[in-house]
Amino acid sequence: MAETDYVISGIMIKKSGFIDLRETYALMKQWFFQRRYDFMEKEYSDRDFEDGKTVSIKWSSEKKVDDYAKMVMNITFSGNKLEDVKVGNRNLLKGNVSILFESYVYKDYEDNWEKNPATKFIREVFDKFIAKQHFDNIHKDLMAETYSLFDEVKRYLKAAKYD
């Protein structure tokens, strides 16, 4: 079974007010595309309630580092008490939104080293002693990229004006 090393277990942006979900989606998707991540929407659900709509969107993005490790970022959008509003010529959502960012390094994702206890032991020794610096660098890169996306989305949401 592949090993998961969490780099960021959860940082969150919260926003109350107006949000252009389409633009936010496009900004983030472009960010992943520019950095060559494979991007997929794993879940989308919305439900209507008396006090507004709830939305839940889960994304997963992966970037292969080598044949042994890949960097993974998961993004979860959650919105509640949302209502569709039109501001000028734009369709927006008004309500409470949170965006959760998680990232981890997925090692031996093809399960090549899990075939028997001896190869599993060799993988553990390799990870902890031989390739430690390599994985430390991957962790640093993934942390920097996660915070880069987090900061970009936060800046966008703060600067967005919907007049």
Each residue of 122-134: pLDDT tens digit? 888 888 888 899 9
Q: Diameter of the chain by CA atoms?
A: 65
What pLDDT band is residue 116 in, cutting at 50, 70 and 90?
Answer: confident
Owner of token pair 């996306």? 149
What's the chain's length in residues?
163
Residue 132 CA to residue 145 CA, distance in Å, equals 20
Owner of token pair 């044949």? 67
Among residues 30, 62, 27, 56, the alpha carbon closest in space to that of 44 is found at 56
Taking residues 89-112, what's their average pLDDT? 91
pTM assigned to the model: 0.90
Residue 112 CA to residue 66 CA, distance in Å, equals 13
What is the identity of the amino acid at 81?
A: K
Among residues 79, 109, 146, 104, the alpha carbon closest in space to that of 9 is found at 104
What is the identity of the amino acid at 72?
A: V
Taking residues 46-61, what's their average pLDDT? 94
What pLDDT band is residue 163 in, cutting at 50, 70 and 90?
Answer: low
pLDDT tens track for 73-98: 999 999 999 999 998 888 899 999 99
What region does 17 belong to: left with phi over 0, alpha with psi -120 to 50, or beta?
A: left
